[in-house]
Structure 1
Amino acid sequence: MAYQEVHIADLQPGSYVVQVLQQTGDVIVKHAGWVRTPAAIEQLRRKGVQVVLTDPEKRLEEAKATPAAEPANTDDEHSTRALFNDEWPKAEKALVQTQKVQRQMLDAVRHNNMIDLTLVHEVSAGLADSIARNQDVLLCLNRIAEQSDSLLQHSISCAVYMAAFARHLNMPTHKVQSLITAALLHDIGKALNPDYLQAEDYMAIPASLNALQKTANLAGEISLWISQHCAHLDGSGSPKISAGQIEKGSRMLAIVNNYEKLTSPQHSKLGPLAASRLLLERTPHKLDVELLQLFIKCIGIYPPGSVVKLTSGKLALVLENSAKKPLLPKVKVFYHSVHQHHLPARILDLSRQQEEQIDSCVDLKKYGLDVRNYI
């Protein structure tokens, strides 16, 4: 059964809220949970909740008079960071579900059908939740994933980067999810014509917007961000608008879109560090320098999932960033590039030792190795 949009005035005790779709105010309610009592519904209303998405298949037969609603967790309640290994299966599930839904979206556009936005909302929320628990896991999983469909991979990678970026900026949950949705859908029009895959990004924007016009209940800001993501701050991009007219969400989408294209393991020979330097050269004329610096800080100089060569010649997979020492992440050592043999896999926190440092990023395929074998 499809999810249902419900106005707060019509919400009943015993409902399961999948996501908050519309909300005003400063306190943001997380998207999922049971609403058990009339008092809980009133609490949501006072927080500014206007419209929610519910799952009619989940229903409490007897809504008890409990004192609070489960969706009352707010952004100012910071949960403990999940352990890497604990988050891995959850992040993997969220990524697989996103891949499944994104394939459906692309197929829908190819066949001139409407996009099921409820599915997009659901996976956007799943990505946001995983990032909130431990962003390094999803970043790592996404980077080592390989898809035969380049459009599919690009859109999902942009969504993962956007999830981390928006959360790093402490944006409200509903805004984070909207930005993730925009990242998933920003190139949707390219599914209509393979020529778009080789053309400049701005050429496919009209097709993307036209496809999205057929979708009911799409927030106007999502279309706006997509329409502006190829604009440049100096007015030289497309459309011909300049800094004062370009929305913050559009500037963020431009950054993640450009970064992903430059660093995609399947289509680029640039490492993350070189890509970051190249993007910084595009500021302040094309990209927002302050946002770009925050983005680089967010995902790390060596993002999780990158393969690096240490000063000893050993190769390692980057697992987790160090906020205080961005040049010294936690890595998994597995191969010696000089002696050309495998090493017993071990986790090494570069920020807690003096012997090893990162020399450079490497393309593991040059050694005839597949990174997915060393997870």
Structure 2
Amino acid sequence: MIKKVSVGQLRVGMFVHDFNAGWLDHPFALNSMKLAVEEDLRRVFAAGIRELFIDTSRGLDVDAPTREEAAVDTEQQIRQLDQVTPPAERRSALAEELARARNAFGEGTRVIRNVMEDARLGRQLEIESAKSAVEKIAASVLRNGNAMMSLRRLKNVDDYTYLHSVSVCAMLAAFARDVGMDMGDIHDIALGGLLHDIGKARVSAAVLNKTTRLSPEEFTLVKSHVVLGSDLLRQMPGIPPLTFAPLELHHECYDGSGYPRGIKGETIDLVGRMSAIVDVYDAISSERCYHVPLSPAEAIRKLFEWSGHHFDPQLVQRFVRSVGIYPVGTLVRLESERLGVVIEQRESSLLTPVVRVMFDIRHNHYLAPDDVDLSRPLGTGGGDRIVSHESPARWKVDVARFL
């Protein structure tokens, strides 16, 4: 039986089924193993892991919820967020905004690529170009954030570092808007999101792109990107103070287990706590050379599992309201055995978006696209329910066609 346990319940002789740390570089060669000696327990706690899964059929048992019981509890927490406050008014339709969002996303990618190359070679950084790109990204997000969110789902694994930076920039802009920050602060925070990983330009690409477990020395080198990036930007004039928070604090954890400073709780600046959530959400829901992405819904569930330990739980809830459980561009399977692409979030419910239905699973053929509002009953344009997220690659669906 698979059970979810806290690290305080671990004992020598238990078998770890899953360290439940897909975004942490834990110090073990495998993601499952038997805890053989006390040193194994100390290493688990030192890695910042707070909850994990054990297999009681292969090691000692303990009184703890099963994996299924823990999943039900998480699902109930998410459903409590289903009735949400309507988001800020969007001034443009999705179809109208997509072209502008695509241009802004592309410009942001080109700029951060150039900035990181300049940082790698020790050249002067073109911060003004970065500020200009950020303004366009933020403007698109404020007109209709769904357009930018749909683009971040179509990232190329080979350009992960750059595209991750642009995605964090865009999501931080949306998050900052939803917590009530003014336009000037939104621009400064989003600039920090775009530049938050700039220190990686000073870390070996061979280490950053390594597909196997990092050695302790390599892990220390990767963690140094925070300090390297901070040192780099602090040598430059004209960097707004708020811009440093995403860069310097995105790896700090709410329980103090993060780095480089190991600060905890509300000692971590609000923008830093926001940045940690955004950075991890994008990382675990993106395809990388060593990582299969989680669906948006699965990524949200992981944030809830880790909130209270690694993340500010109240801010996790605010973030979920910001991005939605099924973001625009998500391919979903409906109870009617049809596939559809989410094209609009409903103001009244995170779980009942508008879906553009376009494929019949039972008969394996495309349908004439039909927009279904899942918040409405049968006979009034609704009457269906999402049962799962689906992989566009598996069904060979070009999601962009249906946006």
TM-score bucket (shorter structure): 0.7 to 0.9
Q: 1:121 to 1:371 in 2, by over 3 A?
A: same
Give the 3-state SS of the residue equivalent to 2:397 in structure 1: coil
Aligned to 1:363: 391
> Which runs of structure 2 are paired with 1:84-163 in the superposition (5 Å)?
84-146=94-156, 148-163=158-173
The range that moved more, 254-263 or 86-95, is: 86-95
Pairing 1:236–2:257 present: yes
Separation in 2, partners of 1:196, 1:263: 18
Aligned to 2:334: 310
Aligned to 1:289: 313
Pairing 1:259–2:269 present: no
* TM-superposed deviation, 1:197: 4.5
Aligned to 2:208: 196
Separation in 2, partners of 1:303, 1:282: 20
* TM-superposed deviation, 1:373: 4.0
Separation in 2, partners of 1:348, 1:79: 22
Give the unaligned 5+ runs of structure 2. 1-87
> Which runs of structure 2 are paired with 1:1-375 in the superposition (5 Å)?
81-146=91-156, 148-192=158-202, 193-194=204-205, 195-198=207-210, 202-238=223-259, 239-265=261-287, 267-354=291-378, 355-375=383-403
Give the 3-state SS of the residue equivalent to 1:359 in structure 2: strand
* TM-superposed deviation, 1:353: 3.8
Separation in 1, partners of 2:237, 2:329: 37
Paired AA for residue 182 in structure 1: G
Separation in 1, partners of 2:189, 2:115: 17
Give the 3-state SS of the residue equivalent to 1:281 in structure 2: helix
* TM-superposed deviation, 1:171: 0.6
TM-score by length of 1: 0.74
Separation in 2, partners of 1:240, 1:261: 21
Paired AA for residue 269 in structure 2: E
Check the 8 A contact 1:196/1:203 in 2, yes or no: no
Separation in 2, partners of 1:371, 1:244: 40
Q: 1:106 to 1:165 in 2, by over 3 A?
A: same
The range that moved more, 276-285 or 145-154, is: 145-154
Q: After superposition, what is the alpha-carbon deviation per residue over 1:58-86, rounded to whole angstroms, capped at 9, x for unaligned?
A: xxxxxxxxxxxxxxxxxxxx876212222
Separation in 2, partners of 1:265, 1:309: 21
Give the 3-state SS of the residue equivalent to 2:357 in structure 1: strand
* TM-superposed deviation, 1:210: 2.9
Q: After superposition, what is the alpha-carbon deviation per residue over 1:158-189, rounded to whole angstroms, capped at 9, x for unaligned?
A: 11211111111121111111111111111112
Aligned to 1:54: none
Check the 8 A contact 1:115/1:212 in 2, yes or no: no
Give the unaligned 5+ runs of structure 1. 1-77
* TM-superposed deviation, 1:245: 2.1
Higher relative contact order (CA 8 A, sep 6+): 2
Paired AA for residue 127 in structure 2: L
Check the 8 A contact 2:329/2:400 in 1, yes or no: no
Check the 8 A contact 2:192/2:245 in 1, yes or no: no
Separation in 1, partners of 2:168, 2:266: 24
Aligned to 1:33: none
Check the 8 A contact 2:91/2:144 in 1, yes or no: yes
* TM-superposed deviation, 1:244: 3.6
Separation in 2, partners of 1:223, 1:215: 12
* TM-superposed deviation, 1:314: 1.3
Q: 1:186 to 1:347 in 2, by over 3 A?
A: same
Check the 8 A contact 2:185/2:242 in 1, yes or no: no
Separation in 2, partners of 1:243, 1:197: 31
How many aligned residue pairs are there? 298
The range that moved more, 108-117 or 246-255, is: 108-117
Give the 3-state SS of the residue equivalent to 1:144 in structure 2: coil
Aligned to 2:74: none
Separation in 2, partners of 1:269, 1:226: 23
Q: Which segments of structure 1 move beyond 6 Å, counting only runs of 4 or more? A: none
* TM-superposed deviation, 1:265: 4.6
* TM-superposed deviation, 1:223: 2.1
Separation in 2, partners of 1:203, 1:370: 39
Give the 3-state SS of the residue equivalent to 2:248 in structure 1: helix
